[in-house]
Structure 1
Amino acid sequence: MRIPGPRHQEDGGLGAIAAAGGLHQYQLRLHDAYGPVVRFQLPGADTAVSVADPVLLEATAHLDKRPEELFAFLDPLCEAGNLQVLPADEHTPWRRLLFSVLAGRPSHERHFARFTELARELADRWADQGRDGSQPVELQRELTALSLRMICGFAFGDADVGTAAGTDADTDVDRIAVAFEEVLTEHLGRLYQVPRDDPRSTERAEEALAYLRKTVDRVVAAHRSGDRTDRSDLIGALVDAGESPARIRDTVMMTLLAAHHTTGVAVSWTLYLLGRHPDAADRVAAELDDVLGERAAPDYGGLRRLTYLDMVLKESMRLFPPGPYGARETTEDLTLGPYELPAGTTVFYPFWAVHLNPRYWPEPERFDPERFTPREAAKRPRLAYIPFGIGPRSCEGAALATVEAQLVLAVLLKRLRFRPAPGHEAVPVERFVLWARDGIRMTVRPRE
């Protein structure tokens, strides 16, 4: 049976994607028009098959190969081979090593106090702004910067990123964030053939990439010097495993890139939704008061008691998944429901379309944390909710990202109340993650 989809376009689908406002919006339109399985053209893959039904996704969950051309825009960040498309024999041991650090409770607990300190510093600053009636805060910028500070500590251990780079720590973290934006904007623009208005964009991206590599190299050198006693951070684990300097640098670069974007954006959208749904915000505040009492922040074990906060975070990532899509490539013929996919087919995972599939999510665009009670969750297929991807190429940092997001939300919402800035509406757009086009601006006030 032939897979339905739009007619062939000479521009490879670029025009249709641009007209829809980005690939994620295009996916929603495609599945609305053609059903749960759609054939479409995709830059970097020519033709792909998009699957928005969680039951059919099960047949693809074993796939362990990513389409190389589709992820080629990340090549400049890697010198020992693009980590997103490593062959399985290289990817599996590398993934196992990352899990030993990123998904382990001991490493989470070791960094938890520092994470808490950073979150409380932001809450203090926002509380002061709220008291003096300052302008609304821009959540995305501030929270991605916070996430970057957290992941820098996790990756670099007790090495201060500012000291390692020869600068003030806060200034350097800001520089790292700007540098990633320069590199991503340049190379994503090449993938989607975006016209360049700035003749220096390529030069600036190259300078930014050189700066990022130099910063990581200095910290790696500190680890290798023999002066360090702590080996529980990411670089320490990679050094102890005997990874090459290039692979260590690549791993740290990709981890910093993925972690600071996704966690900061997830928390931003969650606060935005709570600001628009004060009843849910009241329930979160009541839970925090009940669990924490007079304490300003939970301990690591206490996160598990914040069950409604967890439901709110999950519902937010359903409505605004930080990474809106993924992709795999079949290495042999695959049966997908009534369709046959030949070897070499690009299988596209439209996370946003999966999360808005009305068959499994009634009134899919409505914010309702009650969807994630154990009873309701048990009614849905396993892959109806996939914010971190599926299978052997899913996000290795999912557990760490969840801990960070829950902690930051708990600290901020215990102390503060958020409301949408008058006249401002957050509009999601594609920018490596599901970003708000004009930011997410909210007024902040201390809780009474």
Structure 2
Amino acid sequence: MKIPGPDPRPDGGVGAIAQAGGLHAYQLRLHAEYGPVARFQLPGAETAVSVADPVLLEATAHLDRRPERLFSFLDPLFEAGNLQVLPADEHAPWRRTLLSVLAGRPSHEQAFDRFTALATGLADRWAARGARGEAVALQQDLTALSLRMICAYALGGEVEGPDVVAAAFEEVLADYLERLYQVPPAVDPQERAERTARALALLRATVDRVIAAHRNGGRADRSDLVGALVEAGERPARIRDTVLATMLAAHHTTGVAVSWTLHLLGRHPEAAERVTGELDRVLGDRPAPGYADLRRLPYLRTVLQESMRLYPPGPYGARQTAEALTLGAYTVPAGAVVFYPFWAVHLNPDHWPEPERFRPERFTPEQAAGRARLAWVPFGFGPRSCEGAALAMVECELLLAVLLKRLRFRPVPGHRVVPAERFVLWAADDIRMLVSPRGRCRSRWRSRRHRWGPPRRRRRGTRHRQDRTGHR
């Protein structure tokens, strides 16, 4: 059976993707019109098949090759070869090294106090801004904090100017994405190229300083990524590339996931009250959890999981077939790109009733039982899934616990939060919120909540958008 999809366009599909606002939003439209399996045009791929059904995704879980042309926009980041497309024989030992560091509970526990200090410092700064009546920009501050956390955890050092480094990542990636989608730059091409070169030089210099600090400190333990790479015999250029890739992935995933979670809790005060009630019961007067306390915060975890379902930090992935592949009634030819639209998978109504509603209880053991294994894949799946998934969940849960134990978050009136594609699922104008201390603002928050009253009934098709984003 022929795989359904839109008619080919002379521009190779670039126009349709740009018109939708990016590849992540385009995939939602594609599957809404053509069903769970759809072919489409993708820059860098002659044949692309998108799969939004978690049951059918099982047939692709063994694929261990990423399409090189699709990830070539990241080539300039790396010196020793693009880490996103390493062949399987190189990727497997490199992945084992990363997992030995990033996925180990002992190293998570060892870094927990340092993480807590960084989270508490951010809470202090936000509390001071709140006292002055200033809004906070969640994604800007949280991505910078996440960058500091990953450097402290896996690289054995502190990064200078995390805000500047995070901005440099955005500068480089914006340029690469414009080239990938053939979007005319907003500034003069020469100026754009010079800005990108300066940003990339800053990133590489930052990595060199982190590695130099590591060597001077002589660290060698289970949470030492650089040491593990040296012991594994990796070349200096590959070590620098791995550090850069780790910084890139880690600061995006954690910061973006926490910011979307706080956004959703700000739009759903009943869920926020339930989270803080759980924190109060478990922590008492303590301002932050210990590592063992995270297991005692099940509702906090379900809120995070539901947030990552609605706003997966990495909204898509891709693999390439080496031979023909059967997907239900369809056959995907050898050499085709199999596209994983995580956002569309997470909003598939066949597996998620009322998919755009924010409902953390979806992730209780009772409701999760029997659900397709790949219905929730914010970190990908298979042999190319995210090596830092376990670490990211620890960081996110800790950050949320520290921030929500101390502060209340509410949306800035009139500020629209619009998802946008910037390598991860970003917010076009950040997520700006007002913060206040929980203790002194409890009565005012409750009176405001009372005035809102119960949610008004909306026509089908409009309520979901309000529930997920707060837009009308």
The two structures have a TM-score, normalised by structure 1, of 0.95
CA displacement 1:287-343 (0-9 Å, x = unmatched): 000111111111111111110000000000000000000000001111111111111
CA displacement 1:190-241 (0-9 Å, x = unmatched): 111111232311111112212211221233234445x514443211221222
Which runs of structure 2 are paired with 1:377-388 in the superposition (5 Å)? Answer: 377-388=368-379
C-alpha distance in 1, partners of 2:179/2:130?
42
Which runs of structure 2 are paired with 1:339-418 in the superposition (5 Å)? Answer: 339-418=330-409
C-alpha distance in 2, partners of 1:28/1:318?
14
Structure 2 letter corresponding to 1:154: Y
Q: How far off is 1:352 after superposition?
A: 0.4
Larger mean Cα displacement after TM superposition, 233-242 or 26-35: 233-242
Larger mean Cα displacement after TM superposition, 3-12 or 330-339: 330-339
Q: How far off is 1:379 after superposition?
A: 2.5
Percent pairwise identity: 72
- Residue aligned with 1:70, SS: coil
CA displacement 1:331-380 (0-9 Å, x = unmatched): 11111111111110100000000000001111100000000000111131
- The answer to whether the 8 Å contact 1:224/1:239 transfers is no
Indicate yes or no: 2:22 matched with 1:22: yes
- How many corresponding residue pairs? 436
Which runs of structure 2 are paired with 1:182-261 in the superposition (5 Å)? Answer: 182-199=171-188, 200-224=191-215, 227-231=217-221, 232-261=223-252
Q: How far off is 1:178 after superposition?
A: 1.7
In structure 2, what is the equivalent of residue 164 of structure 1? none
C-alpha distance in 2, partners of 1:120/1:223?
25
C-alpha distance in 1, partners of 2:126/2:357?
29
Structure 1 letter corresponding to 2:79: E
C-alpha distance in 2, partners of 1:398/1:106?
15
In structure 2, what is the equivalent of residue 137 of structure 1? 136
C-alpha distance in 2, partners of 1:21/1:138?
22
Which runs of structure 2 are paired with 1:63-82 in the superposition (5 Å)? Answer: 63-82=63-82
In structure 2, what is the equivalent of residue 160 of structure 1? 158
- Residue aligned with 2:57, SS: helix
Indicate yes or no: 2:292 matched with 1:293: no
- The answer to whether the 8 Å contact 1:118/1:146 transfers is yes
In structure 2, what is the equivalent of residue 270 of structure 1? 261
- Structure 1 segments unaligned to the other structure (5+ residues): 162-168
Superposed CA RMSD:
1.2
Which runs of structure 2 are paired with 1:49-128 in the superposition (5 Å)? Answer: 49-128=49-128
- The answer to whether the 8 Å contact 2:145/2:162 transfers is no
Distance 1:359 1:76, change over 3 A: same
C-alpha distance in 2, partners of 1:384/1:222?
42
C-alpha distance in 1, partners of 2:219/2:378?
36
- Residue aligned with 1:287, SS: helix
CA displacement 1:21-69 (0-9 Å, x = unmatched): 1111110111010100000000111330000000000000010000001
- Residue aligned with 1:69, SS: coil
- The answer to whether the 8 Å contact 1:182/1:204 transfers is yes
Indicate yes or no: 2:329 matched with 1:338: yes
- Residue aligned with 2:70, SS: helix
Q: How far off is 1:135 after superposition?
A: 2.1
In structure 1, what is the equivalent of residue 465 of structure 2? none
C-alpha distance in 2, partners of 1:259/1:85?
18
- The answer to whether the 8 Å contact 1:356/1:365 transfers is yes
C-alpha distance in 1, partners of 2:174/2:18?
16
- The answer to whether the 8 Å contact 2:309/2:376 transfers is yes
Structure 2 letter corresponding to 1:255: T
In structure 2, what is the equivalent of residue 147 of structure 1? 146
Q: How far off is 1:116 after superposition?
A: 0.4
CA displacement 1:55-106 (0-9 Å, x = unmatched): 0000000100000011111111111111110000000000000000000011
C-alpha distance in 1, partners of 2:8/2:323?
25
- The answer to whether the 8 Å contact 2:39/2:50 transfers is yes
- The answer to whether the 8 Å contact 2:148/2:158 transfers is no
- Residue aligned with 2:338, SS: strand
